[in-house]
Amino acid sequence: MTAPLIDPFARAITYLRVSVTDRCDFRCVYCMSENMTFLPKKELLTLEELDRMCSTFVRMGVEKLRITGGEPLVRRDIMTFFQSMTRHLESGALKELTLTTNGSQLEKYAQALYDCGVRRVNVSLDTLDDEKFAKVTRWGRLPQVLRGIDAAQKAGLHVKINAVALKGFNEPELFTITEWCASRGIDLTWIEVMPMGDLGNEDRLDQYWSLKDVRKAYEQNYQVTDLTERTGGPARYARLEESGQKIGFITPLSHNFCESCNRVRLTCTGELYMCLGQEDMADLRGPLRDHPDTEQPLEEAIRKAIGLKPKGHDFDYSRQSVDGQMTRHMSHTGG
């Protein structure tokens, strides 16, 4: 292993999120427009390139890989990539291989993922109502995702649900979703909607449902205890004493979590984003493709990029304009 990755603010970078495709079989309203133009195939890292890239990060101290997208499980032959990452789990260099998925393909792949050493999956699910589900995902169908969650649990995968908090949309379902998760032993995390993509989308401000309000709603029905657990990301956790359930709150807008940030994000084209809320990125595809026989230029490029990781970001809805708004879509950097 080479020297660990430490950024200028003494944060060790141990967590890499990797977007393996910009494509998706859904068109969630807060994530994509209905008519997306996807990248030409030659722009994407091949599965072999993804392997080289991730293996280099693992050699440099990354212990946790989260595979995301777009929808990671719609990338052709993606299971070969998961299989190839198994060797890093077996060697002990990688502590966790995980993914974030919309669940549509889990019925097909849950067992294979388990067999590759995946133990936890995050499934995005904003509503348990068929019609609302079709509305928010545009192309998705709820029963398919529920079958996927069943298959994942049956295969032994620990499932966590991520739900984007949308005012006036899943607000009335707060307790229904919470109880549904509790009845299945599933942890639940709420995410504040972020100002990604769709510049000038007025609805976005209307949709914003502060997690402070979500928490208040819980407090009216449950005894809520804050947990000290931290993951180095924007999530904070609390326990509902009545059910013992852990609820996560991801609040990139109303909280500053940057001081403990341990992660960077790789896009499917090999751009490394050092911060979700900043445009700064480094191209890693060049050093990778230009040097098929040595990883040294790639390692140097990674080290240089980490040296530029900013202290923090600047999303802010508070002035009722979308400050710090990012022009790239979430499916590009991977959520």
Binding-site entries for S-adenosyl-L-methionine: 30, 70, 124, 194
Q: Report the candidate in 68, 116, 97, 40 with the shortest Cα–Cα distance to residue 266.
A: 68
Closest separation in Å from C-beta 99 to ligand SAM = 8
In terms of CB distance, is 103 or 287 closer to ligand SF4?
103
Which x/- pattern, by CB under 6 A, does the window 151-180 give for ligand SAM? -----------x-x----------------
Please select the residue that binds ligand SF4; options are 69, 197, 233, 287, rule is CB under 6 A.
Answer: 69
- Cβ pair 168, 205 in contact under 8 A: no
Residue 283 phi, psi (nearest 5):
-85, 120
Decide: helix, strand or coil at residue 162: strand
Q: Does 277 bind ligand SF4 (CB under 6 A)?
A: no
Closest separation in Å from C-beta 310 to ligand SAM = 20
In this structure, the strands spanning 245-250 and 235-240 are antiparallel
Q: Report the candidate in 265, 235, 245 with the shortest Cα–Cα distance to residue 20.
A: 265
In this structure, the strands spanning 281-283 and 224-226 are unpaired
Closest separation in Å from C-beta 71 to ligand SAM = 4
Site for ligand SAM in 3-62 (CB under 6 A): 24, 30-31
In terms of CB distance, is 109 or 218 closer to ligand SF4?
109
Q: Report the candidate in 213, 194, 205, 326 with the shortest Cα–Cα distance to residue 273.
A: 326
Which x/- pattern, by CB under 6 A, does the window 115-134 give for ligand SF4? ---------x----------
Q: Does 326 bind ligand SAM (CB under 6 A)?
A: no
- Only segment of 25-33, 79-87, 144-152, 309-317 that touches ligand SF4 (CB under 6 A): 25-33
Q: Does 28 bind ligand SF4 (CB under 6 A)?
A: yes
**Sequence-separated (6 or more) residues with CB below 8 Å from residue 241:** 222, 223, 224, 225
Closest separation in Å from C-beta 69 to ligand SF4 = 5
* CA–CA dist 216, 222 (Å, integer): 10
Please select the residue that binds ligand SAM; options are 118, 161, 181, 193, rule is CB under 6 A.
Answer: 193
Q: Does 31 bind ligand SF4 (CB under 6 A)?
A: yes
In terms of CB distance, is 325 or 333 closer to ligand SF4?
333
Closest separation in Å from C-beta 119 to ligand SF4 = 21
Side chain identity at 287, as an amino acid letter?
P
Decide: helix, strand or coil at residue 94: coil
Q: Does 188 bind ligand SF4 (CB under 6 A)?
A: no
What is the side-by-side strand order in the sheet with 64-68? 224-226, 235-240, 245-250, 187-192, 158-165, 120-124, 96-101, 64-68, 15-19, 263-266, 271-273, 281-283
- Cβ pair 269, 45 in contact under 8 A: yes
Return the bridge partners of 22, or none. Answer: none
Q: Does 24 bind ligand SF4 (CB under 6 A)?
A: yes
Applying CB under 6 A, which residues contact ligand SF4?
24, 26-28, 31-32, 69-71, 102, 124, 331
Which positions touch ligand SAM (CB under 6 A)? 24, 30-31, 68-69, 71, 100-102, 124, 162, 164, 191, 193-194, 196, 330-331, 334-335
